[in-house]
Amino acid sequence: MQLRPVHLVLVAVCASLAVAQGGAGVISNHTAHPIDSLHGVSGQIIPLGVSSSTSFDESRSQHLLLAPFLPPTPAVLSGIAVSPHVIGAAVPYQSLTISLGLTTASTLSPTYATNLPSPTVVFQQTSFSISYPSAAAWVPITFQTPFQYDGISNLVIEFQKVIDRPNNPMTVTTSHQLVTFPTRTDLPGAIWNFGTYGSGASTAPTATTTTGGKLLLRLIWGSTRTLTIASTRITSPSRNYFHLGATATLTVQGLPGEQYVNTIDIALLGTPVVVPPVVGYYWLPSFFNIFFIGILDGTGRGPLPIVVPNEMSIVGIHVYFQSATAGAGIVFTNVADAIIAL
């Protein structure tokens, strides 16, 4: 992509907006996949949950997150967070292993090792439990070994779960939220294998199922600059996120007092560009199409409510956002997106 003079001027303007960083304390910024809204509408037992049935006591699942929606700079991933759909007692794990890896593939092979040829085990624990008490709250799982993300690759997350059925013969169901409003067919599906206790499903070499439902995830990145999007949703009658008339909230996350800009487009680049002095990759074709400038508040947040126009002609349009913050330096965030729906 060739930068026109006006684009270079915009970079210079952003640079001129740099401000001193305030006292930040411990910063915990995150990305949300594929949306930062908790709904409790649908859920899945297989990756991390438990059931009164023994059919889901073991599982192995992989989930693929695409590079545009991850930080566009090298960053340390310190944990994830999930939220329950059906809420039972604490989930009793005999073992839980979480492994991560980088890939250039945009879909998952049914062979686990193909997707993670050199997995990094970030969490591994036996004989413990996790409580998931509320569908209105995120539950963090902090990695024992933080993961170094490279800022440009797609990310594979693998869960290998064994429920401690011998010591917990009677359990109630706990599942975790999926995003199905709308179903994101543009994003890669997860793969998994599951079975009863002792079936070996947690170490199976291949998956038996590919699903379109996306496990609702937050990824926790510390002080890395990030961008999230949330949306209101009408439940009666049932409406999608980002429906006509909905309020979408775009939130830049950085350090308190930083200046930020929000940009918008209706497409993504196949290959992102680098635009010094801004640090990181830029994924939007219309370079720096700025529609808002603000300052991050005392918590390092810059929320921007956006009302979706009540115009039938925009239904189905896929909108992408990317932001930049200006403090000690100028840094791009990840991309966040929305598909306009009825």
Single-letter amino acid, residue 83 = S
Q: For 202, list phi and psi in degrees, rounded to 5.
A: -70, -20
Give me the residue label for tokens 């309020």. 247
Q: Which residues contact 239 (CB under 8 A, 6 or more apart)?
A: 181, 233, 246, 341, 342
Q: Which letter does DSSP use for residue 145 in this model?
A: E
User: What would the two tokens of residue 90 be?
Assistant: 């604490």
Q: Which CATH fold would you assign to the domain 5-27+223-339?
A: S-adenosyl-L-methionine-dependent methyltransferases (2.20.130)
Residue 16: left (phi > 0), alpha (psi -120 to 50), or beta? alpha
Q: What is the DSSP string of 216-264?
A: -EEEEEETS-EEEEEE---BTTB--TTBTT-EEEEEEE--TT-EEEEEE
| Domain boundary assignment for the chain | 5-27+223-339, 40-220
* 10-residue stretch averages of pLDDT, the chain, 342 residues long: 39 45 64 90 90 96 98 98 89 98 97 97 98 92 98 98 95 88 86 97 94 89 97 86 96 98 97 96 94 97 98 97 96 98 91
Q: What is the pLDDT of residue 195?
A: 97
Q: What is the pLDDT of residue 18?
A: 46
Note the pLDDT tens digit of each residue in 4-32. 433 433 444 444 444 434 444 567 999 99
Q: What's this model's pTM, rounded to 2 decimal places?
A: 0.92
Single-letter amino acid, residue 310 = N
Q: What is the pLDDT of residue 182?
A: 72
Cα dihedral: 196, 199, 203, 208 (round 10): -70
